[in-house]
Amino acid sequence: MNRHAGIVAETTAANYTGLTAKLTIPSKIHVNEGYVDWYMGIGKSAIEAGISYKAGVGFKVFINGVVDAEKKDVRSRPVSFLSPGQTVDMKLVYNHNTKKATLYINSKPIDWATEVSATTDALKRLNSYNTVKLVHGVEDSGFNTFSQATYSSPQLRLDTAGTQYKTWTSSLSTTTSRVLADAGSADHFYVLQNFPLSTRLDRA
C-alpha cells in the first residue's frame, strides 16, 4: 500500500480533555483494499478513536493508543449498527488522573473502548489538558473512494468532570493535510469545508 494520508483539523491550544462532534458518514463508500476512516484524537498522536470502513469487513469501531489496541479484535471490532449516510454523535474523553479514555457513539460508551488505560508511549504525549483533533483518513494503493464525509456541531471538553463544554470554532484550530506515505497521497482528498471538516476522497 502506498497511500496513507488524512485531513486533520486540530486545536492550536492544549486546553482540552476531550471533544464531541456529529459525523455524517459518506453515503457512497468504495474500499478496494485497506481502509478509510473518520476519527477523533486527543494529544499528539496519543489517543485516537472512531469509525473505519475496511475491505472485506465493513464498518469497525476502534480506539488506539491504549492497552491491547494492537491485539486483533480487542480494541477494534466490526459493528452492525452503522450504515452509509448515517449521522452519528461521537465523543472521546481522557482523564489524566486515571490515565484512561472512553469513546461514546450516540451517547453510549463502546464496550471495548470504555475506561481503557493509555499506553506508556501515549502517556509520554499526554497531559491533564491536550490538543484535540478531527480526522478523515485513508490507507490503500489509491483505489478507495468516498463521497462527502462531514463533521458538524463540534464541542470542546474543558474539564475532567465533563460538565463544561464550549463550541469549537474555526478560530481555535487549523486544518492541514497529513501524509504518512506517498508524498502525493493527500492530493486526492478534496476539502469541501475546512471547518467543521468536510471532505471527499477520489482515486489516486
Q: What is the pLDDT of residue 173?
A: 95
Which pLDDT value is given to residue 122?
Answer: 98
| Ranges of residues in the chain whose predicted pLDDT is under 70 | 1, 183
d(CA 153, CA 189): 22
Determine how β-strand 47-54 pairs with β-strand 58-64: antiparallel
**Residue spans of beta strands (DSSP E) within 45-106:** 47-54, 58-64, 76-78, 87-95, 100-105
The CB density around residue 115, as the number of other CB atoms within 10 Å, is 11
pLDDT of residue 181: 78
Q: Check if the beta carbon of residue 88 is closer than 8 Å to that of residue 22.
A: yes
Q: Under a CB-based contact definition with an 8 Å cutoff, are residues 112 and 105 in contact?
A: no
Q: What is the predicted pLDDT for the residue at 66? A: 98
Residue 90 to residue 50: CA distance in whole angstroms:
8
Q: 89: how many CB neighbours lie within 10 A of its CB? A: 14
pTM: 0.96
State the pLDDT at residue 1. 64
CB count within 10 Å of CB 128 equals 11
Q: Shortest CA distance to 13 belongs to which of 110, 119, 189, 132?
A: 132
Please identify which residue in the block is written with the cell numbers 483518513.
137
Which pLDDT score is estimated for 73? 96
One-letter amino acid at 86 equals: Q
